[in-house]
Structure 1
């Protein structure tokens, strides 16, 4: 996701829109603080999903449709970046996003285009576009993933946003009778057949990806919610899945 200055600019808001904090007395409840933060971020077009206390006194962890932020309780200050626990060597921001990703993947399970491995040892969820070179490379190597026991399930992420031919083509792929075949043909460079009255959840997939912190494709989500930003060969993904499986046992 872009830096905060850019991220807020899209809403047409000045810095003062967030800087005008609302005074919150110490006795105010957590719910009141949440309401203040929700209100301030709503002014910037950001939808707040969850608010939790962060390990840093005075900052709340804010899960939004644009990723993870940190906000002061009075709604005056907003921080975008990575919070790291240096004692435990843990990326706290990534941990928060991992939970969000798992919930989101489960929510959209029924609208994925899935290629299932016969001897499945793990799954990956891939946010994909049909025009990006590395998305096409990953799909050309689909048999390598399947042979390695890796089920590949796709969600749509039009790189150009929710307009133009890239978005329309993904809509037509997701509305096709044979979605697997349509996606394979589209990634080979064929123009997807136009489907009348198409109502596919491509926009929802795109917004979900944004909330995961995705800005490009392919983006690979593993079973623990961690994300690999970019293409990786089947052998590398297989090793990552083996490590996750070993950690569970």
Structure 2
């Protein structure tokens, strides 16, 4: 889990049904720069005194005395008296009203089973995807009941297995929206293939052929979204492909067969169908 006290990316474990990421040093430097830029944006966006109620502002002032950087994080009340949620992207923690104690860990309502911290992470994931997924490669009907976002690498074995079964997902009412995530980073063969796929005349066909081992070539275009997809994956703490993000923001690591995925979508009462997507 990502700590609210560190700039490290949120990192959940992944199953052996995922291809592990191994990005270049150049790529990680880019990620660090992006993280610094995000932190700067969040600091400048921190509410001014007049924009926040006195209760929250008092907590923020206490934080500023002890750890100034934390004072720029998003702050909101929780169901617990004198305990406030502190969040920055996927990182979520809790702080006491006097600003003295920081609690790192998940908050769960044992009476209802509600996973309060995970709900906040899901919201944050969907916010990250809102921009990145606006430019994606989709398979499935526009009126499919469910839309699942998948970070995919053309050269990942389990990504290829998933795509081999794309018809099975679609038949079960699951549309798949791909974001291109070449795990080896920029200036790699996988990155070149991802860009060429996006810049091709028929992205669906080119992606399908590429996952079958056909090299898509070196075509390029200036407005491709691959870098944006890479950044989104890092923000979500991606450590392997494929990585699925369900409509409610839940992350499923690795390859999951269509039947099992449909069961997960149908049996989760918090899952939102895609009637309003």
| Aligned counterparts of 2:154 and 2:146: Cα–Cα separation in 1 | 24
Out of 63, 66, 69, the position equivalent to 1:40 is 69
Which runs of 5 or more structure 2 residues have no equivalent in the other structure? 10-27, 33-53
Out of 123, 132, 138, the position equivalent to 2:156 is 132
Residue 172 of structure 1 corresponds to 196
Out of 178, 183, 204, the position equivalent to 1:154 is 178
Closer, same or farther: CA 70–176 of 1 in aligned 2, 3 Å: same
| Aligned counterparts of 2:98 and 2:193: Cα–Cα separation in 1 | 44
| Aligned counterparts of 1:7 and 1:60: Cα–Cα separation in 2 | 19
Q: Compute the displacement of 1:246 (Å).
A: 9.5
- 90-99 vs 226-235, which moves further: 90-99
Residue 57 of structure 2 corresponds to 30
The answer to whether the aligner puts 1:212 opposite 2:236 as a matched pair is yes
Residue 237 of structure 1 corresponds to 261
Residue 224 of structure 2 corresponds to 200
Closer, same or farther: CA 112–196 of 1 in aligned 2, 3 Å: closer
CA RMSD of aligned residues (A): 4.0
| Preserved contact between residue 116 and residue 146 of structure 1 (Cα < 8 Å) | yes
Q: Compute the displacement of 1:206 (Å).
A: 2.0
| Aligned counterparts of 1:61 and 1:104: Cα–Cα separation in 2 | 18
| Aligned counterparts of 2:98 and 2:155: Cα–Cα separation in 1 | 44
What are the Cα deviations for residues 25-83 of structure 1, in whole angstroms up to 9, with x where unaligned?
A: xx896398399599637xxxxx96x443455646542132xx22326589998776544
| Preserved contact between residue 75 and residue 84 of structure 2 (Cα < 8 Å) | no
Which runs of 5 or more structure 1 residues have no equivalent in the other structure? 12-26, 42-46
- 200-209 vs 79-88, which moves further: 79-88
TM-score (normalised: structure 2): 0.65
TM-score (normalised: structure 1): 0.72
Number of residue pairs matched?
228
Out of 106, 118, 124, the position equivalent to 1:94 is 118
| Aligned counterparts of 2:198 and 2:118: Cα–Cα separation in 1 | 30
| Aligned counterparts of 1:201 and 1:102: Cα–Cα separation in 2 | 18
Residue 120 of structure 1 corresponds to 144
What are the Cα deviations for residues 122-154 of structure 1, in whole angstroms up to 9, with x where unaligned?
A: 211111111211111000001111111211111
- 1:101 is paired with a residue whose SS is helix
| Preserved contact between residue 68 and residue 80 of structure 1 (Cα < 8 Å) | no
